[in-house]
Structure 1
Amino acid sequence: MIPVELLLHAYRHAVFPMAMENGEIAWFSPDPRAIIPLDTFHVPHGLKRTLKKTKFEIRIDTAFEAVMRACAQRDETWINDVIVASYVNLHREGHAHSVEAWLGEKLVGGLYGVSIGGAFFGESMFHEATDASKVALHALVERLRARGFALLDTQWLTPHLVTFGAIEIPRLEYQRRLGEAVEKECCFADARQVGEDSQFLK
Protein backbone atom coordinates (compact mmCIF):
# COMPACT_ATOMS: atom_id res chain seq x y z
CA MET A 1 0.00 0.00 0.00
CA ILE A 2 1.20 3.52 -0.81
CA PRO A 3 1.42 5.54 2.44
CA VAL A 4 -1.01 8.45 2.83
CA GLU A 5 1.84 10.89 3.45
CA LEU A 6 3.59 9.87 0.23
CA LEU A 7 0.43 10.22 -1.83
CA LEU A 8 -0.34 13.68 -0.46
CA HIS A 9 3.27 14.81 -0.97
CA ALA A 10 3.16 13.59 -4.56
CA TYR A 11 -0.10 15.36 -5.40
CA ARG A 12 1.16 18.58 -3.87
CA HIS A 13 4.12 18.35 -6.26
CA ALA A 14 2.11 17.58 -9.42
CA VAL A 15 2.85 13.83 -9.36
CA PHE A 16 0.46 10.86 -9.21
CA PRO A 17 0.80 7.05 -9.31
CA MET A 18 -0.50 4.46 -11.76
CA ALA A 19 -0.15 0.69 -11.83
CA MET A 20 1.66 -0.80 -14.81
CA GLU A 21 0.80 -4.08 -16.55
CA ASN A 22 3.43 -5.92 -14.51
CA GLY A 23 1.88 -4.67 -11.27
CA GLU A 24 4.60 -2.15 -10.47
CA ILE A 25 3.62 1.36 -9.43
CA ALA A 26 4.96 4.18 -11.63
CA TRP A 27 4.74 7.91 -11.00
CA PHE A 28 3.74 10.54 -13.56
CA SER A 29 3.74 14.30 -14.00
CA PRO A 30 2.43 15.10 -17.51
CA ASP A 31 3.62 18.09 -19.50
CA PRO A 32 1.34 19.61 -20.65
CA ARG A 33 -1.20 18.98 -17.89
CA ALA A 34 -4.96 18.89 -18.43
CA ILE A 35 -7.42 20.80 -16.27
CA ILE A 36 -11.06 21.82 -16.45
CA PRO A 37 -11.30 25.54 -15.60
CA LEU A 38 -14.13 25.78 -13.12
CA ASP A 39 -15.32 29.14 -14.42
CA THR A 40 -15.65 27.91 -18.02
CA PHE A 41 -17.02 24.39 -17.49
CA HIS A 42 -19.19 23.55 -20.49
CA VAL A 43 -22.45 21.64 -20.17
CA PRO A 44 -23.25 19.91 -23.50
CA HIS A 45 -26.85 20.13 -24.73
CA GLY A 46 -27.48 16.43 -24.19
CA LEU A 47 -26.38 16.69 -20.59
CA LYS A 48 -28.59 19.73 -20.05
CA ARG A 49 -31.59 17.65 -21.10
CA THR A 50 -30.59 14.85 -18.74
CA LEU A 51 -30.13 17.26 -15.83
CA LYS A 52 -33.63 18.66 -16.37
CA LYS A 53 -35.08 15.17 -15.97
CA THR A 54 -33.44 14.79 -12.52
CA LYS A 55 -33.10 11.10 -13.31
CA PHE A 56 -30.17 10.35 -11.00
CA GLU A 57 -29.60 10.83 -7.29
CA ILE A 58 -26.16 12.19 -6.48
CA ARG A 59 -24.46 10.92 -3.33
CA ILE A 60 -21.06 11.78 -1.89
CA ASP A 61 -18.68 9.25 -0.31
CA THR A 62 -21.20 6.47 0.28
CA ALA A 63 -19.58 3.85 -1.98
CA PHE A 64 -16.03 4.99 -2.56
CA GLU A 65 -14.44 1.61 -3.14
CA ALA A 66 -17.33 0.42 -5.28
CA VAL A 67 -16.72 3.41 -7.55
CA MET A 68 -13.00 2.60 -7.76
CA ARG A 69 -13.61 -1.02 -8.64
CA ALA A 70 -16.19 -0.06 -11.25
CA CYS A 71 -13.66 2.35 -12.79
CA ALA A 72 -11.19 -0.54 -13.01
CA GLN A 73 -13.58 -2.75 -14.99
CA ARG A 74 -12.18 -2.10 -18.45
CA ASP A 75 -9.83 -3.85 -20.87
CA GLU A 76 -6.86 -1.66 -19.95
CA THR A 77 -6.68 -0.28 -16.43
CA TRP A 78 -4.08 1.29 -14.18
CA ILE A 79 -6.18 0.57 -11.09
CA ASN A 80 -4.94 -2.62 -9.40
CA ASP A 81 -5.43 -3.90 -5.86
CA VAL A 82 -2.51 -1.82 -4.54
CA ILE A 83 -4.02 1.35 -6.00
CA VAL A 84 -7.46 0.46 -4.63
CA ALA A 85 -6.16 -0.25 -1.13
CA SER A 86 -4.05 2.94 -1.14
CA TYR A 87 -6.90 5.22 -2.17
CA VAL A 88 -9.45 3.56 0.11
CA ASN A 89 -7.02 4.30 2.92
CA LEU A 90 -6.69 7.88 1.65
CA HIS A 91 -10.48 8.09 1.60
CA ARG A 92 -10.72 6.90 5.20
CA GLU A 93 -8.27 9.64 6.16
CA GLY A 94 -10.57 12.21 4.52
CA HIS A 95 -8.47 13.08 1.46
CA ALA A 96 -10.15 11.05 -1.32
CA HIS A 97 -13.78 11.30 -2.33
CA SER A 98 -16.38 9.82 -4.63
CA VAL A 99 -19.26 11.50 -6.42
CA GLU A 100 -21.86 8.85 -7.21
CA ALA A 101 -24.89 8.65 -9.52
CA TRP A 102 -27.61 6.30 -8.29
CA LEU A 103 -30.83 4.96 -9.79
CA GLY A 104 -32.82 3.87 -6.79
CA GLU A 105 -30.41 1.73 -4.81
CA LYS A 106 -28.19 0.86 -7.78
CA LEU A 107 -24.86 2.62 -8.32
CA VAL A 108 -24.81 3.37 -12.06
CA GLY A 109 -22.00 5.89 -12.44
CA GLY A 110 -19.55 8.13 -10.68
CA LEU A 111 -16.04 9.37 -10.26
CA TYR A 112 -13.40 9.61 -7.57
CA GLY A 113 -10.44 11.84 -6.85
CA VAL A 114 -8.20 13.46 -4.27
CA SER A 115 -8.86 16.74 -2.48
CA ILE A 116 -6.12 18.94 -1.01
CA GLY A 117 -6.93 22.51 -0.02
CA GLY A 118 -8.64 24.13 -3.00
CA ALA A 119 -7.45 21.54 -5.51
CA PHE A 120 -9.33 18.45 -6.66
CA PHE A 121 -7.47 15.81 -8.64
CA GLY A 122 -9.89 13.76 -10.73
CA GLU A 123 -8.72 10.17 -11.09
CA SER A 124 -11.30 8.15 -13.03
CA MET A 125 -14.99 7.81 -13.81
CA PHE A 126 -17.41 5.13 -14.98
CA HIS A 127 -21.00 4.70 -16.09
CA GLU A 128 -23.43 1.84 -16.41
CA ALA A 129 -26.33 4.08 -17.41
CA THR A 130 -26.30 6.73 -20.13
CA ASP A 131 -24.97 10.10 -18.91
CA ALA A 132 -24.44 8.87 -15.33
CA SER A 133 -20.75 9.81 -15.23
CA LYS A 134 -21.48 13.13 -16.93
CA VAL A 135 -24.05 13.97 -14.26
CA ALA A 136 -21.50 13.07 -11.59
CA LEU A 137 -18.92 15.34 -13.21
CA HIS A 138 -21.43 18.19 -13.34
CA ALA A 139 -22.22 17.64 -9.65
CA LEU A 140 -18.50 17.66 -8.86
CA VAL A 141 -17.96 20.99 -10.62
CA GLU A 142 -20.98 22.53 -8.90
CA ARG A 143 -19.65 21.37 -5.53
CA LEU A 144 -16.16 22.69 -6.19
CA ARG A 145 -17.52 26.05 -7.26
CA ALA A 146 -19.79 26.34 -4.23
CA ARG A 147 -16.94 25.51 -1.84
CA GLY A 148 -14.38 27.88 -3.30
CA PHE A 149 -12.05 25.41 -5.03
CA ALA A 150 -9.59 26.84 -7.53
CA LEU A 151 -8.30 23.84 -9.50
CA LEU A 152 -9.82 20.73 -11.11
CA ASP A 153 -7.02 18.54 -12.44
CA THR A 154 -7.78 15.84 -15.04
CA GLN A 155 -4.17 14.74 -15.68
CA TRP A 156 -4.36 14.14 -19.45
CA LEU A 157 -6.60 15.62 -22.13
CA THR A 158 -9.11 13.34 -23.87
CA PRO A 159 -11.72 14.13 -26.55
CA HIS A 160 -14.40 13.31 -23.97
CA LEU A 161 -13.06 15.87 -21.49
CA VAL A 162 -12.71 18.51 -24.21
CA THR A 163 -16.50 18.50 -24.56
CA PHE A 164 -16.67 19.85 -20.99
CA GLY A 165 -14.12 22.60 -21.60
CA ALA A 166 -10.92 20.81 -20.55
CA ILE A 167 -7.67 22.43 -21.69
CA GLU A 168 -3.95 21.77 -21.52
CA ILE A 169 -1.48 24.07 -19.79
CA PRO A 170 2.32 23.82 -19.42
CA ARG A 171 3.49 21.95 -16.34
CA LEU A 172 5.16 25.07 -14.94
CA GLU A 173 1.87 26.97 -15.17
CA TYR A 174 0.07 23.99 -13.63
CA GLN A 175 2.54 23.94 -10.74
CA ARG A 176 1.96 27.65 -10.14
CA ARG A 177 -1.81 27.19 -10.03
CA LEU A 178 -1.42 24.07 -7.91
CA GLY A 179 0.75 25.87 -5.38
CA GLU A 180 -1.88 28.56 -4.95
CA ALA A 181 -4.80 26.13 -4.85
CA VAL A 182 -3.47 23.75 -2.18
CA GLU A 183 -2.98 26.68 0.22
CA LYS A 184 -6.67 27.52 0.14
CA GLU A 185 -8.85 26.37 3.04
CA CYS A 186 -11.61 24.44 1.32
CA CYS A 187 -13.67 21.51 2.56
CA PHE A 188 -14.95 18.97 0.05
CA ALA A 189 -17.15 17.01 2.46
CA ASP A 190 -18.50 18.17 5.83
CA ALA A 191 -19.58 14.77 7.08
CA ARG A 192 -18.32 11.44 5.77
CA GLN A 193 -19.75 8.00 6.40
CA VAL A 194 -16.57 5.99 6.67
CA GLY A 195 -16.68 2.22 6.50
CA GLU A 196 -19.98 1.73 4.66
CA ASP A 197 -18.21 0.23 1.66
CA SER A 198 -15.75 -1.91 3.60
CA GLN A 199 -17.38 -5.09 2.32
CA PHE A 200 -15.78 -4.39 -1.09
CA LEU A 201 -12.24 -4.29 0.27
CA LYS A 202 -10.03 -7.24 -0.59
Structure 2
Amino acid sequence: MSGPPGGWRGLDLAAAPTDAPAAFCADLSAEGLLDAYRHGLFPLPAPDEYARCLNEALYEDQVAAGRITLLGEAEAAYRVAWWSPDPRLVIGVGRARLPRRLARRLRNRDDWSTSLDQAFPEVLAGCADGRDRHWLTGELRTALARLHERGAAHSAEVWADGELIGGAFGVRVGPVLSLDSMFHRRPDASRVAIADLAARFAEAGGHLLDVQWDSPHIRTLGAVPIPRPQYLATLRGPAAGRPPVGGRPARALALDAPRPTGGSNPFS
Protein backbone atom coordinates (compact mmCIF):
# COMPACT_ATOMS: atom_id res chain seq x y z
CA MET A 1 0.00 0.00 0.00
CA SER A 2 1.44 3.42 -0.91
CA GLY A 3 -0.97 5.85 0.74
CA PRO A 4 -4.57 6.84 0.05
CA PRO A 5 -5.69 6.74 -3.59
CA GLY A 6 -4.50 10.01 -5.13
CA GLY A 7 -2.43 10.82 -2.04
CA TRP A 8 -3.45 12.93 0.93
CA ARG A 9 -4.40 16.00 -1.12
CA GLY A 10 -8.03 14.89 -1.17
CA LEU A 11 -8.36 15.10 2.62
CA ASP A 12 -10.31 18.19 3.72
CA LEU A 13 -8.49 19.37 6.85
CA ALA A 14 -10.79 22.38 7.12
CA ALA A 15 -13.48 19.99 8.33
CA ALA A 16 -11.16 17.83 10.45
CA PRO A 17 -11.30 17.85 14.26
CA THR A 18 -8.90 20.15 16.09
CA ASP A 19 -8.28 17.76 19.00
CA ALA A 20 -8.74 14.30 17.47
CA PRO A 21 -7.20 12.42 14.53
CA ALA A 22 -7.96 13.83 11.10
CA ALA A 23 -7.88 10.34 9.55
CA PHE A 24 -7.13 6.67 10.04
CA CYS A 25 -5.08 4.88 7.39
CA ALA A 26 -2.78 1.89 7.78
CA ASP A 27 -0.16 3.05 5.26
CA LEU A 28 3.29 3.62 6.76
CA SER A 29 5.36 3.35 3.60
CA ALA A 30 8.13 5.92 3.24
CA GLU A 31 6.32 7.49 0.27
CA GLY A 32 2.96 7.67 2.05
CA LEU A 33 4.61 9.03 5.20
CA LEU A 34 6.38 11.84 3.37
CA ASP A 35 3.22 12.73 1.45
CA ALA A 36 1.30 12.96 4.73
CA TYR A 37 3.85 15.36 6.24
CA ARG A 38 3.61 17.51 3.10
CA HIS A 39 -0.12 17.83 3.77
CA GLY A 40 0.22 18.72 7.45
CA LEU A 41 -0.31 15.27 8.98
CA PHE A 42 1.83 13.10 11.25
CA PRO A 43 1.23 9.50 12.41
CA LEU A 44 0.57 7.93 15.79
CA PRO A 45 0.58 4.17 15.16
CA ALA A 46 -1.11 1.80 17.59
CA PRO A 47 1.60 -0.46 19.03
CA ASP A 48 -0.70 -3.45 19.61
CA GLU A 49 -4.20 -4.81 19.08
CA TYR A 50 -5.49 -3.30 22.31
CA ALA A 51 -4.47 0.19 21.16
CA ARG A 52 -6.04 -0.42 17.74
CA CYS A 53 -9.33 -1.45 19.35
CA LEU A 54 -9.15 1.58 21.63
CA ASN A 55 -8.82 3.86 18.59
CA GLU A 56 -11.94 2.27 17.14
CA ALA A 57 -13.91 2.56 20.37
CA LEU A 58 -12.92 6.19 20.97
CA TYR A 59 -13.44 7.53 17.48
CA GLU A 60 -15.91 5.32 15.60
CA ASP A 61 -18.76 7.77 16.23
CA GLN A 62 -16.78 10.65 14.67
CA VAL A 63 -15.82 8.37 11.76
CA ALA A 64 -19.49 7.47 11.26
CA ALA A 65 -20.41 11.18 11.34
CA GLY A 66 -17.82 11.94 8.68
CA ARG A 67 -15.67 14.19 10.89
CA ILE A 68 -12.74 11.72 10.81
CA THR A 69 -11.83 10.10 7.49
CA LEU A 70 -11.37 6.33 7.41
CA LEU A 71 -9.23 5.06 4.53
CA GLY A 72 -9.23 1.32 3.91
CA GLU A 73 -10.76 -1.53 5.89
CA ALA A 74 -11.48 -0.52 9.48
CA GLU A 75 -9.59 -3.43 11.02
CA ALA A 76 -6.38 -2.26 9.38
CA ALA A 77 -7.04 1.49 9.19
CA TYR A 78 -7.42 1.96 12.94
CA ARG A 79 -3.82 0.82 13.35
CA VAL A 80 -2.52 4.30 12.44
CA ALA A 81 -4.06 7.62 13.48
CA TRP A 82 -3.05 10.70 11.47
CA TRP A 83 -3.11 13.97 13.39
CA SER A 84 -3.15 17.61 12.37
CA PRO A 85 -3.70 19.60 15.59
CA ASP A 86 -5.19 23.08 15.60
CA PRO A 87 -3.50 25.20 16.77
CA ARG A 88 -0.06 23.91 15.81
CA LEU A 89 2.97 24.59 18.02
CA VAL A 90 5.95 25.93 16.07
CA ILE A 91 9.33 27.54 16.70
CA GLY A 92 10.62 30.11 14.24
CA VAL A 93 14.18 29.10 13.41
CA GLY A 94 15.44 32.52 14.46
CA ARG A 95 13.36 32.43 17.63
CA ALA A 96 14.59 29.24 19.28
CA ARG A 97 16.04 30.17 22.63
CA LEU A 98 17.70 28.43 25.53
CA PRO A 99 16.62 29.13 29.11
CA ARG A 100 19.02 31.60 30.74
CA ARG A 101 20.34 29.10 33.26
CA LEU A 102 21.13 26.59 30.50
CA ALA A 103 22.78 29.22 28.30
CA ARG A 104 24.93 30.29 31.24
CA ARG A 105 25.91 26.70 31.97
CA LEU A 106 26.82 26.01 28.33
CA ARG A 107 29.02 29.11 28.18
CA ASN A 108 31.06 27.76 31.07
CA ARG A 109 31.65 24.26 29.73
CA ASP A 110 33.36 22.84 26.67
CA ASP A 111 32.59 19.12 26.94
CA TRP A 112 29.25 19.14 25.08
CA SER A 113 29.10 19.14 21.29
CA THR A 114 26.40 18.72 18.66
CA SER A 115 26.13 17.08 15.25
CA LEU A 116 23.54 16.39 12.56
CA ASP A 117 22.67 13.04 10.96
CA GLN A 118 25.58 11.23 12.56
CA ALA A 119 23.54 8.77 14.66
CA PHE A 120 20.00 8.63 13.26
CA PRO A 121 19.22 5.02 14.34
CA GLU A 122 20.59 5.70 17.83
CA VAL A 123 18.44 8.81 18.18
CA LEU A 124 15.34 6.86 17.10
CA ALA A 125 16.18 4.21 19.69
CA GLY A 126 16.71 6.86 22.37
CA CYS A 127 13.34 8.42 21.60
CA ALA A 128 11.61 5.03 21.79
CA ASP A 129 13.21 3.88 25.06
CA GLY A 130 11.19 4.09 28.24
CA ARG A 131 8.07 5.69 26.75
CA ASP A 132 4.64 4.80 28.06
CA ARG A 133 3.10 5.38 24.61
CA HIS A 134 5.05 3.14 22.25
CA TRP A 135 3.95 4.92 19.06
CA LEU A 136 7.44 4.72 17.55
CA THR A 137 6.83 1.22 16.23
CA GLY A 138 9.23 -0.88 14.22
CA GLU A 139 7.24 -0.25 11.03
CA LEU A 140 7.38 3.52 11.52
CA ARG A 141 11.09 3.40 12.37
CA THR A 142 11.74 1.50 9.14
CA ALA A 143 9.90 4.15 7.11
CA LEU A 144 11.75 6.97 8.89
CA ALA A 145 15.08 5.25 8.24
CA ARG A 146 14.25 5.15 4.53
CA LEU A 147 13.39 8.86 4.57
CA HIS A 148 16.69 9.51 6.32
CA GLU A 149 18.53 7.64 3.55
CA ARG A 150 16.76 9.91 1.04
CA GLY A 151 17.76 13.05 2.96
CA ALA A 152 14.24 13.91 4.13
CA ALA A 153 14.53 12.90 7.80
CA HIS A 154 17.17 14.32 10.11
CA SER A 155 18.54 13.81 13.59
CA ALA A 156 20.34 16.24 15.86
CA GLU A 157 22.73 14.70 18.37
CA VAL A 158 24.25 16.02 21.60
CA TRP A 159 27.49 14.46 22.81
CA ALA A 160 29.58 14.55 25.96
CA ASP A 161 33.02 12.96 25.73
CA GLY A 162 31.87 10.70 22.88
CA GLU A 163 28.65 9.61 24.62
CA LEU A 164 25.26 10.34 23.04
CA ILE A 165 23.37 12.18 25.79
CA GLY A 166 20.42 13.59 23.87
CA GLY A 167 18.86 14.12 20.51
CA ALA A 168 15.83 14.94 18.39
CA PHE A 169 14.59 13.88 14.97
CA GLY A 170 12.09 15.05 12.39
CA VAL A 171 11.04 15.16 8.75
CA ARG A 172 11.87 18.05 6.39
CA VAL A 173 9.02 19.23 4.15
CA GLY A 174 9.34 22.49 2.23
CA PRO A 175 10.41 25.26 4.62
CA VAL A 176 9.35 23.25 7.70
CA LEU A 177 11.10 20.62 9.76
CA SER A 178 8.46 18.61 11.62
CA LEU A 179 9.91 17.40 14.91
CA ASP A 180 8.58 14.02 15.96
CA SER A 181 10.38 13.32 19.20
CA MET A 182 13.35 14.06 21.44
CA PHE A 183 15.16 12.41 24.33
CA HIS A 184 17.79 13.16 26.93
CA ARG A 185 20.12 11.17 29.12
CA ARG A 186 21.37 14.27 30.90
CA PRO A 187 19.24 17.23 31.93
CA ASP A 188 18.59 19.76 29.14
CA ALA A 189 20.33 17.76 26.40
CA SER A 190 17.09 17.58 24.36
CA ARG A 191 16.74 21.37 24.58
CA VAL A 192 20.25 21.73 23.21
CA ALA A 193 19.41 19.32 20.36
CA ILE A 194 16.38 21.38 19.32
CA ALA A 195 18.24 24.70 19.52
CA ASP A 196 21.06 23.25 17.42
CA LEU A 197 18.62 21.86 14.85
CA ALA A 198 16.89 25.25 14.60
CA ALA A 199 20.23 26.99 14.00
CA ARG A 200 21.28 24.53 11.29
CA PHE A 201 17.86 24.63 9.61
CA ALA A 202 18.00 28.42 9.54
CA GLU A 203 21.33 28.20 7.69
CA ALA A 204 19.64 25.94 5.12
CA GLY A 205 16.89 28.49 4.46
CA GLY A 206 14.28 26.85 6.69
CA HIS A 207 11.45 28.85 8.21
CA LEU A 208 10.19 26.99 11.25
CA LEU A 209 10.29 23.85 13.38
CA ASP A 210 6.93 22.17 13.84
CA VAL A 211 6.83 20.79 17.39
CA GLN A 212 3.26 19.48 16.97
CA TRP A 213 2.06 19.29 20.59
CA ASP A 214 1.93 21.95 23.30
CA SER A 215 3.85 21.50 26.55
CA PRO A 216 5.58 23.73 29.15
CA HIS A 217 8.89 22.10 28.16
CA ILE A 218 8.61 23.14 24.52
CA ARG A 219 7.32 26.62 25.39
CA THR A 220 10.61 27.35 27.17
CA LEU A 221 12.36 27.05 23.80
CA GLY A 222 10.21 29.73 22.17
CA ALA A 223 7.34 27.64 20.78
CA VAL A 224 4.12 29.48 19.96
CA PRO A 225 0.74 28.32 18.59
CA ILE A 226 -0.41 29.21 15.09
CA PRO A 227 -3.73 28.29 13.41
CA ARG A 228 -3.75 25.15 11.30
CA PRO A 229 -4.56 27.05 8.05
CA GLN A 230 -1.52 29.23 8.61
CA TYR A 231 0.66 26.18 9.18
CA LEU A 232 -0.64 24.52 6.01
CA ALA A 233 0.06 27.69 4.02
CA THR A 234 3.62 27.76 5.38
CA LEU A 235 4.21 24.23 4.09
CA ARG A 236 3.67 25.50 0.56
CA GLY A 237 6.52 28.03 0.83
CA PRO A 238 9.98 27.76 -0.79
CA ALA A 239 11.75 24.55 0.19
CA ALA A 240 14.76 24.66 2.47
CA GLY A 241 17.99 22.89 1.63
CA ARG A 242 19.65 20.15 3.63
CA PRO A 243 20.93 21.40 7.00
CA PRO A 244 24.73 21.41 7.43
CA VAL A 245 26.30 18.44 9.18
CA GLY A 246 29.46 18.27 11.23
CA GLY A 247 30.39 18.70 14.86
CA ARG A 248 29.98 21.99 16.69
CA PRO A 249 30.64 23.10 20.26
CA ALA A 250 27.36 23.37 22.14
CA ARG A 251 28.54 26.53 23.87
CA ALA A 252 28.21 28.37 20.53
CA LEU A 253 24.42 28.08 20.90
CA ALA A 254 24.59 30.02 24.16
CA LEU A 255 26.73 32.74 22.59
CA ASP A 256 24.33 33.15 19.65
CA ALA A 257 21.07 32.67 21.56
CA PRO A 258 18.34 35.25 20.77
CA ARG A 259 16.87 37.31 23.57
CA PRO A 260 13.53 36.16 25.01
CA THR A 261 10.54 37.71 23.26
CA GLY A 262 8.07 37.65 26.11
CA GLY A 263 6.02 34.91 24.46
CA SER A 264 4.82 37.05 21.55
CA ASN A 265 3.86 35.27 18.35
CA PRO A 266 6.29 36.18 15.56
CA PHE A 267 3.97 34.59 12.95
CA SER A 268 0.85 36.63 13.64
Note if contact 2:151-2:242 (Cα within 8 Å) is conserved in structure 1: no
Sort the Cα spacing of 1:137 and 1:50 in 2 relative to 1 into closer, same or farther, 3 A: farther
Shift of 1:190: 6.4
Alignment match, 1:197: none
In structure 1, C-alpha distance between the alignment counterparts of 2:243 and 2:174, rounded to whole Å: 9
Alignment-mate amino acid for residue 131 of structure 1: D
Note if contact 1:38-1:145 (Cα within 8 Å) is conserved in structure 2: yes
Shift of 1:174: 0.9
Note if contact 2:94-2:199 (Cα within 8 Å) is conserved in structure 1: no
Q: Which has the higher contact order (CA 8 A, sep 6+)?
A: 1
Alignment match, 1:42: 97
Note if contact 1:117-1:187 (Cα within 8 Å) is conserved in structure 2: no
Sort the Cα spacing of 1:101 and 1:35 in 2 relative to 1 into closer, same or farther, 3 A: same
Note if contact 2:191-2:221 (Cα within 8 Å) is conserved in structure 1: no
In structure 2, C-alpha distance between the alignment counterparts of 1:86 and 1:116, rounded to whole Å: 15
Within 5 A, what are the aligned runs for 1:1-202?
A: 2-22=28-48, 24-52=79-107, 53-73=109-129, 74-180=131-237, 183-189=238-244
Sort the Cα spacing of 1:54 and 1:138 in 2 relative to 1 into closer, same or farther, 3 A: farther
Structure 2: unaligned runs, 5 residues or longer: 1-26, 50-78, 247-268
Alignment-mate amino acid for residue 135 of structure 1: V
Q: SS of the counterpart of 1:129? A: coil
Alignment match, 2:9: none
Q: CA RMSD in A?
A: 1.8
Q: SS of the counterpart of 2:94? A: helix
In structure 1, C-alpha distance between the alignment counterparts of 2:240 and 2:93, rounded to whole Å: 17
Judge which range, 48-57 or 150-159, deviates more: 48-57
Note if contact 1:112-1:125 (Cα within 8 Å) is conserved in structure 2: yes
TM-score of the two chains, using structure 1 as the length reference: 0.86
Alignment-mate amino acid for residue 125 of structure 1: M
Shift of 1:3: 2.0
Structure 1: unaligned runs, 5 residues or longer: 192-202
TM-score of the two chains, using structure 2 as the length reference: 0.66
Q: Tell me how many residue pairs correspond in the alignment.
A: 189
Note if contact 1:50-1:131 (Cα within 8 Å) is conserved in structure 2: no
Note if contact 1:47-1:134 (Cα within 8 Å) is conserved in structure 2: no
Identity percentage over the alignment? 38
CA radius of gyration, larger in: 2
In structure 1, C-alpha distance between the alignment counterparts of 2:106 and 2:118, rounded to whole Å: 21
Q: SS of the counterpart of 1:8? A: helix
